[in-house]
Structure 1
Amino acid sequence: MTNAENKKEQTAAQAYQNAKFDIASLLDRIGQELEQTPEKLHWGHAGDMMHLRQNLIEALSEMTGFTEHAIRETLEDIRTDAQNQK
């Protein structure tokens, strides 16, 4: 491997690690935001959450190769299990 090829690999590895760190930071921030609930909920808030949910489903599908449909089914199963435990 030439020095130039090694440098490209290091650059790709660093870019990957930087993106991975940023994604983890963003997910932490999303978690913090989810702990807060507006005082007077309205359909705009619900729409915002449903839009974010769809974006996250798309991102997870891209990362894992699972279909969006399969992810939605899994979410429904998890939600049903959580409701049954109450």
Structure 2
Amino acid sequence: MFGASLGECAVLGDSPLVLLTALRGTFRAEPSSSPSILVPRRPIEDDGGYGPALEGLPAVRVFTGIDMRLMYGDLVAKLADHADAGRSTP
């Protein structure tokens, strides 16, 4: 657009959400597939910014990254499994 290169894009659908919520650690209840931090819960103000931390409410987990290698590795494994299943059919 307008001579600018926008790079490449891959539509991931809900795959990142599934990756973040489905894979939990053995000894911890929180997701362990991607890095995250806990931050205080804060309201969204009328101007779109965040207000002060709300006391007495649980913290919010913010994911700081997504393990794309794990997500695409799962996709490739599913495609390979599907291809193998198609070959065994007469």
Normalised by the shorter chain, which TM-score bucket? under 0.3
TM-score by length of 1: 0.27
TM-score by length of 2: 0.26
- Bigger relative contact order (CA 8 A; separation at least 6): 2
Q: Greater CA radius of gyration, 1 or 2?
A: 2
* Greater helix fraction, Structure 1 or Structure 2: 1
* Greater strand fraction, Structure 1 or Structure 2: 2
